[in-house]
Structure 1
Amino acid sequence: MKNKKIIFQDWGMLDYQAAWDKQESIFAATIAAKVTNRTNNSDNPVPNHLIFVEHPHVYTLGKSGQPENLLLDEAGLQENDATYHKINRGGDITYHGPGQIVGYPILDLDNFFTDINLYLRTLEQAVIDTLAWYGIASGRYPGYTGVWLDADNTKARKICALGVRCSRWVTMHGFAFNVNTDLGYFKNIIPCGIDDKDVTSMKRELGKDVNLEEVKTVLFNNIVKLFEMQA
């Protein structure tokens, strides 16, 4: 029986390593629950988690990424009050920082659909629908993950990056959605390994600060709706 219930947590501002450790713990427990069910031939509900968090300035490099896409050395990281982590998600390098909603869905996709491509497209759609609520038209860029503005012309710019890990159809890591993000930090990397495209935020597009808590609510509701979750 599919469990559509979602356990939601907002971790606020949290150090990247601490958040990664907490993610890994929930991820491992979720996989263990699935293995126990299979071993005992039982049908106990496997939980689904959705976590929102902000991180202090940090650069993360996915397992398929190129270290040279970080344009700072150790001294440069210290000058920018930033840290750097090589992690086990897909994708290349990205930046997380204040004013950005980082989403970590730790879902058992057996509860929803076992299709990673559909999973990524559904997360993208939740962000697209959230931006539309604020009057910002966005979409997808063929050949790339994430959510983009003006993807059909030379002004293409990314507003949300995605990078996930999946094992036994349990997901971790997720998305980084620029709301009031300091875009200057992206100048220190080649974002997602793409050196000829811009990065943007809701603040830049709207010309003003956006209520982050309100955006979280709109985004959460869109995720719940698209995945047909029980909140």
Structure 2
Amino acid sequence: MAIETLATARPDSTPEAGPITAAWLGRVDYREALALQKRLVADRADGRIGDRLLLLEHPRVLTLGRTSDPKHILADEATLAARGIEVIRVERGGEVTYHGPGQLVAYPIIALSPRGLLVRPLVRALEAALIATCAAHGVTAARRDGHPGCWCEPDGADPRKIGALGLRIERGVSYHGIALNVSVDLADFELIDPCGMPGVRSTSIAAERGERGTRPTTESVQRVAATFATAFAAELGAPLAEA
């Protein structure tokens, strides 16, 4: 579904809790996706639409949260420019995050109050959906205490981050969200301290399955997106609809 179609869709007839409407958007520029989120947050807060789950991937970009320390970007501007990687500061929590082809990004536009949610339970639901999605695609993952997101062998000698998480709440509605590495080029993560944690190694579903030669593809991300949408809606006990 095209972004403008989603942004200007007819208001839902029952915009309270209701179903979560998931939309696969394909590859979308980061700033364009952020502008869409903000429009949908306003529409959700004003009761014009129901809850949304945007599913997509981005071109290469680094994002810094409100209090992120730029020192966790390890590459200089010339290196980033040579790889076509832009740096953007945004309003979410968390540290530096990489987005790129082969990575699922999911943005939940969820009104917390109608679902009886607080921020922490929403975070836990997103983490649980990440873990369930990994499991459905043959990868064992789990939470890591004190570190939001999703990890492989979080308590082992070699913990590897496979999913990142950062949210913002405005007018009682969530936006930003999660990033799950599906078939992403892991070499790009060497340009940063993922989530501001020096020495942390990133991984992907493809890498954990021993498919290290896999090229990033939008098709692989779309398959995983469907799994995540189902898992997330189940965690919130909500029906899932498609835009």
Whether TM-score is above 0.5 comes out as yes
Out of 31, 46, 51, which is 1:48 matched to? Answer: 51
* 123-132 or 202-211, larger mean C-alpha shift: 202-211
* Contact 2:22–2:229, Cα closer than 8 Å, also in 1: no
1:46, distance to aligned residue in structure 2 (A): 5.3
Q: What amino acid is the match of 2:63?
A: T
Out of 62, 66, 75, which is 2:65 matched to? Answer: 62
Q: What amino acid is the match of 2:206?
A: K
1:111 aligns to 2:114 (yes or no) = yes
In structure 1, the residue matched to 2:135 is 132
In structure 2, the residue matched to 1:150 is 153
Q: What amino acid is the match of 1:221?
A: T
Matches within 5 A, 1:67-216: 67-208=70-211, 209=214, 211-216=220-225
1:182-217: CA deviation from partner (whole Å, max 9, x where unpaired): 111111111111013211000100122483332122
1:227, distance to aligned residue in structure 2 (A): 1.0
In structure 2, the residue matched to 1:230 is 239
In structure 2, the residue matched to 1:218 is 227
SS state at 2:144 partner = coil
SS state at 1:151 partner = coil
* Contact 2:66–2:89, Cα closer than 8 Å, also in 1: yes
* Contact 2:63–2:96, Cα closer than 8 Å, also in 1: yes
Q: What amino acid is the match of 2:227?
A: V
1:4 aligns to 2:25 (yes or no) = no
Matches of 1:113 and 1:153, distance apart in 2: 35
Q: What amino acid is the match of 2:42?
A: A
Matches of 1:152 and 1:203, distance apart in 2: 21
Matches of 1:53 and 1:46, distance apart in 2: 20
SS state at 2:92 partner = coil
Matches of 2:221 and 2:89, distance apart in 1: 28
- Unmatched 5+ residue regions in structure 2? 1-13
Matches of 1:118 and 1:230, distance apart in 2: 18
- Unmatched 5+ residue regions in structure 1? 34-44
Matches of 1:3 and 1:190, distance apart in 2: 38
Q: Give the structure-1-normalised TM-score.
A: 0.90
Q: What amino acid is the match of 1:225?
A: A
The percentage of aligned residue pairs carrying the same residue is: 34
Q: What amino acid is the match of 2:220?
A: N
1:31, distance to aligned residue in structure 2 (A): 2.2
* 89-98 or 5-14, larger mean C-alpha shift: 5-14
Q: What amino acid is the match of 2:221?
A: L
Matches of 1:89 and 1:109, distance apart in 2: 17
* Contact 1:4–1:228, Cα closer than 8 Å, also in 2: no
Matches of 1:67 and 1:120, distance apart in 2: 25
Q: What amino acid is the match of 1:182?
A: D
Q: Give the structure-2-normalised TM-score.
A: 0.86
SS state at 2:59 partner = coil
Q: What amino acid is the match of 1:140?
A: R
* Contact 1:162–1:174, Cα closer than 8 Å, also in 2: yes
Matches of 1:53 and 1:215, distance apart in 2: 11
4+ runs deviating over 4 angstroms: none
SS state at 1:195 partner = coil
* Contact 1:46–1:108, Cα closer than 8 Å, also in 2: no
* Contact 2:27–2:56, Cα closer than 8 Å, also in 1: yes
Aligned pair count reads 220
SS state at 1:102 partner = strand
Matches of 2:221 and 2:79, distance apart in 1: 29
